[in-house]
Amino acid sequence: MKAIILAAGMGTRLGKYTESLPKCMLNFNGKTLIERQVETLRKCGITDITIVKGYMPEKIDIPNTKTYLNSDYPNTNMVETLFCAEAEMDDDILICYADIIYEEKVLQTILDSPSDVGVTVDEDYWEYWQSRADNPEDDMESLIIEDGRIVDLGNTKCTREDAKVRYVGLIKLSKAGVQKLREVYHQNKIDHFLKNKPWLRSKSFKKAYMTCLIQALINSGQEVKPITIRRGWLEFDTVEDYERYVSWADEGNLGRFLSLDN
């Protein structure tokens, strides 16, 4: 299995912390976010690791990894960043967001999944969400599961009923799943890439969210299964996130949501 880490974004919601470096290079308890993620991947046996850079690419230097560049990162989003590394899509792959860290047990649960397309979801996220945000209801996304399959995700205007589990930013695909992903991407690119209008729940296909590509897979008839976890991960998206997590670590309260192995 290969891992592709999406690390092209500017991280503007992290304010001063990303003025001079990509957010995956934020230091958290003695290591950068991407160092932590790469270490976890390697501990679980994944050594073929690709990082797709964009913003300040020279600042990301992780030994023994492959790199690709999304030179159009200001005008694109996660999906286009992923497909900058399409040359690596010849095996089972794990797609990883660069602004998360997670425990080995989370990754092992993902690797144990037999699904052709598996999307990691946290069924015990709400206490974490309440702790990380003053108004957690303002940052919800739908993720609806019916008969063991994901049928809808990525709607930010949803109720708690449609957000019982949380999308994590780790997607596992078998070779067959990768092939279907590529087919769906290229068909939609032909139809929508040059159109500056909404595509599913994204502003445009060029700026497509990963959740929209997953939804397009679902709409094509591909079975997408949830890979269910309970805590064991953190997302670094805003100034408030980063400062809260540092405070939790300093106060010894981080273990409610994530155990650091260092």
Per-residue pLDDT of 130-173, as tens digits, reads 999 889 999 999 999 999 999 999 999 999 999 999 999 999 99
Q: Is the pLDDT of residue 262 over 90?
A: no
Mean pLDDT of 89-103: 98
162 in any annotated domain:
yes
250 in any annotated domain:
yes
Going by the DSSP 8-state scheme, the letter that residue 231 receives in this structure is S
102 in any annotated domain:
yes
Q: How many domains does the chain have?
A: 1
243 in any annotated domain:
yes
pLDDT for residue 261: 76
Per-residue pLDDT of 193-251, as tens digits, reads 999 999 999 999 999 999 999 999 999 999 999 999 999 999 999 999 999 999 999 99
Supply the CATH number for residue 242's domain.
3.90.550.10
Structural domain span for residue 57: 2-256
Cβ neighbours, 10 Å, residue 258: 19
Q: For 50, how many CA atoms within 13 A lie in the half-sphere containing its CB? A: 23
